[in-house]
Structure 1
Amino acid sequence: MTATSPVLVIDYGAQYAQLIARRVREARVYSEVVPHTMPAADILAKNPAAIILSGGPSSVYADGAPRLEADLVNSGVPVLGICYGFQAMAQALGGEVGQTGQREYGSTTASSPDGGLLLEGTGESQQVWMSHGDAVARAPEGFTVLASSPGAPIAAFEDAERRLFGVQWHPEVKHSVAGQQVLENFLYRGAGLAPDWTPENVIADQVKKIREQVGDARVICGLSGGVDSSVAAALVQEAVGNQLTCVFVDHGLLRAGEREQVERDFVAATGVDLITVDASQRFLTALAGVTDPEAKRKIIGREFIRVFEDAAREVVARAGAHGEDVKFLVQGTLYPDVVESGGGEGAANIKSHHNVGGLPDDLQFELVEPLRELFKDEVRQVGLELGVPEAIVWRQPFPGPGLGIRIIGEVTAERLEVLRAADAIVRKELTAAGLDRDIWQCPVVLLADVRSVGVQGDGRTYGHPVVLRPVSSEDAMTADWSRLPYDLLAHISNRITNEVADVNRVVLDVTSKPPGTIEWE
């Protein structure tokens, strides 16, 4: 299984379309998401190894509801319908869908005494996650009904000979206990696919593509020290070696030890040619007196662009002396970025949300995006396989503007030192507690424009509060606050208030996303 014959997830407006693709990849089979508006002929032109029809908010019989072209399910390509996709398949093949008068939302028991090929090994009953108000009332001719639930007399069916399958519930969510087994039954047994989407194969495939794209030209990469840019750089380094030069801009808004980690650990592990630019004073000067968060972001982005441009010209000049041109720019674009920007159709544009902070078009670099087919968890696996240090691979996500947007108020050198010290304590204690891989990230926020009365050393203090924001997430689109052990929270609080000057209060943010965002600014 390679990107040349993907499993295509057709998105009917489901909140779980990307999650379906992730679950397929967890089964080590390559998958992509395509919109339901794509014509059947274009979908089939992608040479899909199998097709999965996602759920969606519509009723199949409603005016304007997305339709499933019969050509797609009659093409001979194995198809799995989920929720809305299940109903759309039933309708397209001559079955009936209607309102049962009994909606099902949330955890439900599905009975499947005869599980067939699709439900083999899942038991005669299983807990599944439903979200529907309509149900299949009659299966298409040739289909065997496999399961039922209180609100769906036909909750799963299959025509194994034609390799067509469907379930009313959502096997992609963890609440469906045997959901991954259902997906793997479809992929391995229904579609006959092999689980060969592995980090080793990803690396070999990308190295080949990078070499074909770059040739003998030189490449530049804006290295942030985060997992995306680090793994992208490591992949390109693996492919073209010393044709790559990385530029690391220290804007003075980094967390404690991050510059040293990149310069020491990353360079040692990959052998990459690295230029470090210390622009901390430049950024502090530009941010002086600024408190508006959007203004901070724009200033940081603008200054980053200017510094990177200067460094890029240096690389170009140095390469030019050897008769070489710098033609390519490495970006750590991930697959969710591609999907959310319209599926990656058309020419790639450098935009402000990419790693290097939003480079202007007049730089005239062609993009190299070796991670654009990968989700974050896959990027980490590739990074480990390439030998990128675990401290970088499992590094908590960090915003491009850095600590500049984790200080509520003006950014000063003194405030940065206070926040760095508190953040370093939190990260160290989370690591010591073995929680680095359980907690997606834990921003620490300094309320610099707020003062709080306290008592320290038998005296009155008037210091600043800091906020801990531990969150867990699979996809960064939604997040829940992490329930850290009380003893750990108490230990972190004690250390910060005892060791960090000007901080006399530690508070915990227990807001999920939505309604809150991850960052405070």
Structure 2
Amino acid sequence: MEDSFTTGHELIVILDFGSQYTHLIARRLRECNVYCELHHFNLPLSDIKELNPSGIVLSGGPASVYEEGSPHAAKGIFELGVPVLGICYGLQEMANALGGEVLPGEKKEYGHADIQTSNTYDLFDGIQSEFGVWMSHGDKLSLLPDGFCDIATTDNTEHAAVADVKRKLYGLQFHPEVTHTQFGTNILANFVTKICGCKCDWSMSDFLTEAKGAIRTMVGDGMVIGAVSGGVDSTVAAVLMKEAIGDQFHAFLVDNGVLRKNEATEVMERLASRCGVNLKLVDASEIFLQKLKGVTDPEKKRKIIGNTFIECFEKEASQLKANFLLQGTLYPDVIESTSHKGPSATIKTHHNVGGLPAHMKLKLIEPLRFLFKDEVRKLGLELGIESESIYRHPFPGPGLAIRILGEVTANRLKALREADKIFLEELRSAGLYRNIGQAFAALLPVKAVGVMGDKRTYEEVIVLRAVKTTDFMTADWFDLPTPLLRKISSRVVNEIRGVNRVTYDITSKPPGTIEWE
């Protein structure tokens, strides 16, 4: 078992039993300034002891504890003397292991429920005695283990929250981690502070100091290479590497020909000139556009761009004797993995790098591996990166190629670049850019009839897309003010040759996706 990444800090271990909400538990605990890690439900007891957690959270999950083959935590976990909070399936796992009884409910309980608590208990300290919670379970406790008592009920669930105060074992049948539960974050904060005794002193400043030290230890006198796109993740990862090892890090920006207007120049100015990153621009735009000629299928576009990028990057990287490859992997990308163990887990062999050739025998270094998106932004600010870069909307790897529906041509790229520029420019001017999760323009593969200058036109159509979202798994369309839409539409049709119509996409995700291709 490797040393913990948070040496000197309190740690909450979350054992994942397969709930779709498990990552939200980690997010809520991080909001309390407590470091936490997700591990597989059957993490061995010896590993748990070595981690020396201040508390343990058992997540929810889709299984039934009484069925053969259902997941169970390591034996002895409740005898460690460490506070435990079981959530949904985690509560049932705790009860089942300690002599209680779990049976199928008469009916599934899914959605809102009103709960009544005994707020004399630390778990509900400072919270009103009645509030709304989110339920998602089919089984329920029918018999409490010895030493436990009820501390909350609903009309349908007698044992909505239980506690063995003496052993510091607590269980919730509802999900405090979802936003649908009122005071959910308060409940989790009470667990880590009042029950686990955490000081809540973990900060991004601490992470930065520890990450730089871990990187220096891993790299030694070796060399790290990496590709940057100008996006939040690659920007923060690149500046962090520069701060840690200086010119031992060599970065490449591959201009694939489908970047936004002036993007390559702006990224070079931001990262190389202002942040001091050792960055080389590789202009491969003609190569990419030639390979995209005549291609209309979005999956073929993605594969062409991905494979060509690898070829270009490999050609540049082969000229350097590098030992490591930087990748901006975030915690959600590895949330289902069992390797959440420490700084040495940020190094993996090349076969785990998506699409990189096997002969590139590089070790992977992922300094953002333990962070969520909002934490990456905080780290970027801690590194002194300008806020405009930190709060930049996501931009897809295939770039404008998948925002041009149909064939990618020079003229269509020019039109879309101008439309995208106008749209984002007006959103910033209206002070709405930060309120939107993602916004962009797309060019449709159709033409429409119009009238301009007393003449009939038959030209292309721009669609605008702006969504609000917290996790990008679901999204709702952003209700832009009508006067702003009118202004954007007017600018697009007047300033861009070949476009005579603008539409606004009001489709949520699901059923739609955020991008069009």
Q: TM-score, normalised by structure 1?
A: 0.92
Equivalent residue for 2:238?
233
Gaps of 5+ in 2: none
Equivalent position of 2:24 in the other structure: 19
Matched residue type, 1:188: T
| 1:88 CA drift (Å) | 1.7
Deviation at 1:518, TM superposition (A): 2.5
Structure 2 residue aligned with 1:404:
401
Matched, 1:453 2:449: yes
1:225 Cα deviation (Å)?
Answer: 0.6
Task: Report the equivalent of 1:498.
Answer: 494
Name the counterpart of 2:369.
Answer: 372
For the 8 Å contact 2:59–2:87, the answer to whether it is kept is: yes
Query: Aligned-pair distance for 1:515?
Result: 3.3
Distance 1:102 1:495 in 2: 56
Residue matched to 2:504:
508
Partner of 1:319: none
Aligned to 1:223: 228
How far did residue 285 of structure 1 move? 1.2
User: Per the alignment, in what secondary structure is the counterpart of residue 516 of structure 1?
Assistant: coil
Deviation of 1:78 (Å): 1.5
Identify if the C-alpha distance between structure 1 residues 134 and 465 changes in structure 2 by more than 3 Å, giving closer, same or farther.
same
- Over the aligned positions, Cα root-mean-square deviation in angstroms equals 2.2
Q: CA deviation at 1:47?
A: 3.1
**Counterpart in the other structure of 2:66:** 61
Q: Which residue is 2:201 aligned to?
A: 196
Deviation sequence 1:196-245 (CA, Å, 0-9, x none):
22110110010000110111222222111111111011111111112222
Q: Is the 8 A contact 1:223 1:233 kept in 2?
A: yes
Q: Which residue number in structure 2 is paired with residue 284 of structure 1?
A: 289
Structure 1 Cα separation of the partners of residues 451 and 44 of structure 2: 68
Structure 2 counterpart of 1:253, which letter?
Answer: V
Paired with 1:478 and 1:380, the residues of 2 have a C-alpha distance of 21
Q: Is the 8 A contact 2:114 2:131 kept in 1?
A: yes
Matched, 1:3 2:9: no
Secondary structure in 1 matching 2:123: coil
Match of 2:36 in 1: 31
- Deviation, 1:6, is 3.2
1:437–1:141 Cα change, 3 Å: farther
Assess if the C-alpha contact under 8 Å between 1:28 and 1:195 holds in 2.
yes
Contact 1:109–1:149 under 8 Å retained in 2: yes
CA distance in 2, matches of 1:169, 1:412: 53
Q: CA deviation at 1:475?
A: 2.6
CA distance in 2, matches of 1:74, 1:459: 83
Structure 1 counterpart of 2:121: 116
- Secondary structure, counterpart of 1:294 in structure 2: helix
Per-residue CA shift, 1:65-116, capped at 9, x if unaligned?
Answer: 3234441122222111111111221222222333453543222211114440
CA displacement, residues 309-357 of structure 1 (integer Å, 9 cap, x when unaligned):
222234x2xxxxxxxx432221111111122456469873557986xxx
Residue 168 (structure 1) aligned with residue 164 (structure 2): no
Q: Greater shift after overlay, 137-146 or 203-212?
A: 137-146
Distance in 2 between the 1:158 and 1:148 partners? 12
Residue pair 1:115, 1:124 contacting (<8 A) in 2 also = no
Q: Where does residue 89 of structure 1 map in the other structure? A: 94
- Look up the match of 2:259: 254
| Closer/same/farther in 2, CA of residues 501 and 242 from structure 1, 3 Å limit | same
Whether contact under 8 Å (2:154, 2:160) holds in the other structure is: yes
Q: Which moved more, 1:231-240 or 1:129-138?
A: 129-138
The 1:175–1:256 alpha-carbon spacing in structure 2 relative to 1, beyond 3 Å, is: same
Letter in 2 for 1:334: L
Amino acid at match of 2:403: R
Distance in 2, Cα, partners of 1:367 & 1:180: 35
Name the counterpart of 2:273: 268
Cα distance in structure 2, aligned partners of 1:439 and 1:374: 22
Paired position in structure 1 for 2:474: 478
Cα distance change on mapping 1:9 and 1:482 into 2, 3 Å: farther
Partners of 1:10 and 1:120 lie apart in 2 by: 25
Amino acid in structure 1 at the alignment position of 2:111 = G
Q: Which amino acid aligns with 2:476?
A: D
Assess if the C-alpha contact under 8 Å between 1:128 and 1:170 holds in 2.
Answer: yes
Q: Is the 8 A contact 2:261 2:417 kept in 1?
A: yes
CA distance in 2, matches of 1:222, 1:34: 30
Structure 2 residue 302 is matched with structure 1 residue 305: no
Task: Report the Cα offset of residue 282 of structure 1.
Answer: 1.4
Contact between 1:102 and 1:151, CA under 8 Å: does it hold in 2? no
Q: Which moved more, 1:332-341 or 1:1-10?
A: 1-10
| Residue 64 (structure 1) shift | 3.3
In 2, the alpha carbon distance for the partners of 1:490 and 1:56 equals 48
Offset of residue 504 of structure 1: 2.1
- Cα distance in 2 for partners of 1:255, 1:179 equals 41
- 3-state secondary structure, aligned to 1:152: coil
CA distance in 2, matches of 1:191, 1:262: 45
Deviations 1:19-53 (A, max 9, x none): 11111111111112222244444444433332111
1:428 to 425, 430, 450: 425
Task: Give the alignment partner of residue 75 of structure 1, picking from 58, 67, 80.
Answer: 80
CA distance in 2, matches of 1:352, 1:497: 46
**Alpha-carbon offset, residue 161 of structure 1:** 2.6
Does structure 2 retain, via aligned residues, the 8 Å contact 1:269–1:389? no
Given the superposition, is the C-alpha separation of residues 450 and 503 from structure 1 closer, same or farther in structure 2, using an over 3 Å criterion?
A: same
- Contact 1:350–1:359 (CA under 8 A) maintained in structure 2: yes
The whole-number CA distance in structure 2 between the counterparts of 1:487 and 1:349 is 53
Name the CA distance, whole Å, in 2 between partners of 1:389 and 1:380.
10
The structure 2 residue matched to 1:339, chosen from 324, 335, 344, is 335
Matched position secondary structure for 1:242: helix
